[in-house]
Amino acid sequence: MEKWMIALEKFLSDWKDKDKIIGVLVCGSFVTGGASKHSDIDVQIILDNEVTWRERGNKIVDGFLIEYFANPLYRYEGYFEEDYSRNRTVTAHMFATGKIIFDKTGDLTKLVVVAKKFLKKKFVKPKRAFIEMNKYHLWDALDNLGEVLDNNSKEFYFVYYSGLRDIYEVYSKFCRMNVSQSNKVERFLINKKDREKYLINDFPDEVFVKLFSKALVLNSPKKMFSNYKCLCLHVFRKMGGFEIDGWKFRSPAK
């Protein structure tokens, strides 16, 4: 048995409310592969529906950091729905790619099936208000970036990377794609093996992927701004175009 599994067994045997557990699933890089010194052991602890509380915590066992999430069974589909409403699949990915340690009632196995269905579920097409207001937001961020560049401001890099995150998130939602955590964005955009491992669909716009990937490696402020502007203009074209002169958006007052 691998050392991390031994640590997990010790953690579970010492868990104070183990009589309320109906299932346990372990997930993350120790299961899918590619664990590093920064990896923790992610554990989903499924509790009986009569439990009236939930708990999230961390515990170091034999040098391994265990991050656990304990919830009554009924809460999990709610988490799937909450993630889905934000174009995220974090919880569903945990279950779909995780490993069942035990399942007393069979409900955990059923939950894994539900999680996999959520991963295949197409995200909702964003409304016109979302599209129009975010195009303005991205234009404003581009203008702000130009200002800090002209002023040779130390804030340039902060504004730049904050803006990149916004571009990625807005355009991903427009394309009805999963919005990944910042530390996994590039991996899921350019690495097919990682996408397959984590059940992530290919991004549908190769030009965007190329420009965004380039944005992460440039280090000259002028070149960074030039590529950033190209990225914004590309996104504007894909989202129906944008001109600041005359732009307006009318919406209900109530």
- pLDDT tens digits in sequence order for the chain, 254 residues long: 789 999 999 999 888 678 899 999 999 888 888 788 889 999 999 999 999 999 999 999 999 999 999 999 999 999 999 999 999 999 999 999 999 999 999 999 999 999 999 999 999 999 999 999 999 999 999 999 999 999 999 999 999 999 999 999 999 999 999 999 898 899 899 998 888 888 889 999 999 999 999 999 999 999 999 999 999 999 999 999 999 999 999 888 88
Both 100 and 159 in a single domain?
no
Both 26 and 97 in a single domain?
yes
Say what the pLDDT of residue 200 is: 87
Say what the pLDDT of residue 59 is: 96
Both 63 and 154 in a single domain?
no
Both 134 and 184 in a single domain?
yes
Both 23 and 42 in a single domain?
yes
Both 164 and 208 in a single domain?
yes
Say what the pLDDT of residue 164 is: 98
Both 110 and 135 in a single domain?
no
HSE on the CB side for 27, CA within 13 Å?
Answer: 19
Angle at 47 between CA 44 and CA 51, to 5 degrees: 140
pLDDT digits (tens, 9 = 90+) for 116-138: 999 999 999 999 999 999 999 99
The alpha helices in 28-184, defined as continuous H runs, are: 29-32, 75-85, 90-97, 107-120, 128-150, 156-174
Say what the pLDDT of residue 18 is: 81
Answer yes or no: is 68 within a domain.
yes
pLDDT digits (tens, 9 = 90+) for 160-203: 999 999 999 999 999 999 999 898 899 899 998 888 888 889 99
Both 79 and 152 in a single domain?
no
Both 115 and 144 in a single domain?
no
Answer yes or no: is 84 within a domain.
yes
Domain that holds residue 203: 128-239
Domain count within the chain? 2
Burial class of residue 172 in the structure, from the number of CB atoms within 10 Å of its CB (0-12 exposed, 13-18 middle, 19+ buried):
buried
State the residue for tokens 């002023």. Answer: 151
CATH at residue 35? 3.30.460.10
Both 34 and 133 in a single domain?
no
Burial 196-208 (b: 16+ CB within 10 A, else e): eebbbeebebeeb
Both 170 and 81 in a single domain?
no
Say what the pLDDT of residue 147 is: 98
Q: At 12, list the tokens.
A: 């579970």
Answer yes or no: is 214 within a domain.
yes
Answer yes or no: is 245 within a domain.
no
